[in-house]
A = this chain, B = another copy of it.
């Protein structure tokens, strides 16, 4: 393996000393992906995306917002009030990338950015370029909407990542000063502080991580305060605004009383991530109970089949239960990234395979679609149906999603394995090599697999050691089988970890077979738009139809009868190499009739008969010529 700056450091979140973590993520420097699916995308992230994003940060004046604090230019702040976070998320992505190898060019950019940030910090520790160089008197005046704690949180996360991968105290000290300043302003009224919090969560999880990284319990206490102060209905827009009431800001109820994911979806995910992080430290089961209730509500009432979250454009928010429109799905890429972060914490808290299942599903089907194959364009919204107008863009005025994708891709190896004592968990299947810590030694583990295209996984243990190997059996993997050195093991059950404990010898091999038939999935009848429609999945991947594969056909005229057979075809030269699903469909034009009328919905008899259907993985859509998209296919 490549020499790493700190090979045993840099977990994506560090639960090594968290009393209530049942599993601990393995440092991402210990895992090297060598597959042809994720790693090529990570290479694009490293070689193309990080550089192009840095240029955007310059071009949009986002870095100049830092320079103007000290250069006396008198230039105005440019962009949204929270644009500093674009820099911080980029910095976090760059910091995780350093776990792989030294990269002098990247390190040069990091040094430039780190210097700008340090320079923009006030003597008292305050850091937010919008409220500096002239707006000092307005600080903390609009907590609801002006995102100062949100910005602080993203910086702290970046500083923690930077410390983890480089060992440098430089930015971590800036983060400490910032957190100490925040702690001097916010806290119990009995201490003369302000009993308030920010309209956009993020600081909570960041402070827990800062506490873990520094060992300072006061940052954990501050995170706890900022979580516990929620639920007083203080954060809300003026009367008359129907959207931005206290549910939008998750300030409608104390966390423990919440039963529903509500409001701005990204905020909700960052809140649940932070609360779960807090539980991992304090073991308050009433918090974990609430998180489990919210997770169940989210997955049974509010989630797209892609794993995407947030049905509504207005408020970038969760809607009513079962309100899941396809073309108008908001499903912000950032919300999916938040879900990955939350599910990783829920996995750490419980060890339940369902969280790893959803982490994987969301990564493949709700995060990856948000990023073009060339690494330079992004979706903010990820609809499940489209007419060809929705295309990825190089950047946004509100550019939260692009660097969020970059930091997740950069930290991805950190999600593959977990450990605890002499237990090892394999959460994600990906061709890779790893060095995993079990008591007393590091164990080499090699995964050989063509996942997600094929469900066969061969693991080779490279080091003699006693430990238990826990292999995730996805909920979809009915009929999975497992053998060790060719010897069949008990049938693994879906949605569990299959456990094999033994004295492993170097060269021992484990073979897991996860059957990947095409799955036809229907929606609960209250998801009105999907009536009479089916979605196709195979293994961890959701599929979709694109217009470009069906020239001359409107995708709503295409009917896939329930009994139609679907074949599985590997197409190496398509979309970077994908498996497509093919089958015979029927052309059944929808009526060109009145909008409303007694016979308006009568569908005429089949016109030209049969046609060939080809479904491609949903993550790869909109990488060819613009055209229609349908995830939900007519079945009748």
Contacts and interface: CB of A to CB of B under 8 A. Distances in A.
Interface of A: 238-243, 299-301, 303, 305, 312-314, 319-320, 322-323, 325-328, 380-381, 387, 393, 395-399, 519-532, 535, 556, 590-591, 593-603
Contacts of A325: 325, 328
A241 B381 CA distance: 12
Given A319-B328, A326-B528, A522-B600, 8 more contacts: A240-B393, A301-B595, A303-B595, A312-B328, A325-B328, A523-B601, A524-B591, A524-B593
B521 A299 contact: no
Contact of A313 (B313, B320, B596): B313
Given A526-B556, A529-B528, A529-B529, A595 B397 contact: no
How many copies of this chain does the complex contain?
2
Nearest to A322: B595
> Chain A interface secondary structure, helix, strand, loop or mixed?
loop
Contacts of A395: 240
Contact of A597 (B314, B326, B521, B525): B521
B320 A387 contact: yes
A523 B590 CA distance: 12
Given A323-B327, A531-B601, A525 B396 contact: no
A319 B327 CA distance: 10
Contacts of A312: 313, 328
Nearest to A590: B525
A525 B590 CA distance: 6
B314 A522 contact: no
A590 B526 contact: yes
A595 B519 contact: no
Contacts of A313: 243, 312-314
A278 to B, nearest CB: 28
Contact of A523 (B323, B393, B522, B600): B600
Nearest to A535: B596
Contact of A240 (B397, B524, B599): B397
A544 to B, nearest CB: 15
A520 B593 CA distance: 16
Given A323-B328, A398-B240, A596 B526 contact: no
Given A313-B312, A314-B313, A323-B327, A598 B523 contact: no
A240 B301 CA distance: 31
A532 B531 contact: yes
Nearest to A325: B325
Contacts of A523: 595-596, 600-601
9 contacts: A238-B397, A312-B328, A326-B528, A521-B597, A522-B596, A522-B601, A522-B602, A523-B601, A525-B603
A603 B240 CA distance: 40
Kindly list the 8 A-B residue pairs having the minimum CB-CB distance in the complex, ordered from nearest.
Answer: A240-B397, A313-B314, A528-B529, A522-B601, A525-B590, A531-B531, A240-B396, A522-B600
A603 to B, nearest CB: 6
Contacts of A380: 242
A605 to B, nearest CB: 14
A601 B530 CA distance: 9
Contacts of A314: 313-314
A300 B595 contact: yes
A333 to B, nearest CB: 14
B595 A524 contact: yes
A266 to B, nearest CB: 16
Nearest to A635: B601
Nearest to A321: B387
A526 B532 CA distance: 13
A300 B594 CA distance: 7
Nearest to A386: B320
A239 B305 CA distance: 31
Contact of A600 (B320, B396, B524, B600): B524
A588 B110 CA distance: 62
Nearest to A528: B529
Contacts of A532: 531-532
Nearest to A240: B397
A596 B320 contact: no
Nearest to A302: B595
A528 B525 contact: no
Contacts of A328: 312, 319, 323, 325
A603 B526 CA distance: 11
A242, A525, A535 — which one has the most chain B CB atoms within 10 A of its CB?
A: A525
Contacts of A238: 397
A323 B598 CA distance: 20
A367 to B, nearest CB: 19
A399 B596 CA distance: 32
B387 A598 contact: no
Contacts of A301: 595
Contacts of A597: 521-522
Contacts of A535: 596
Given A312-B328, A529-B528, A600 B521 contact: yes
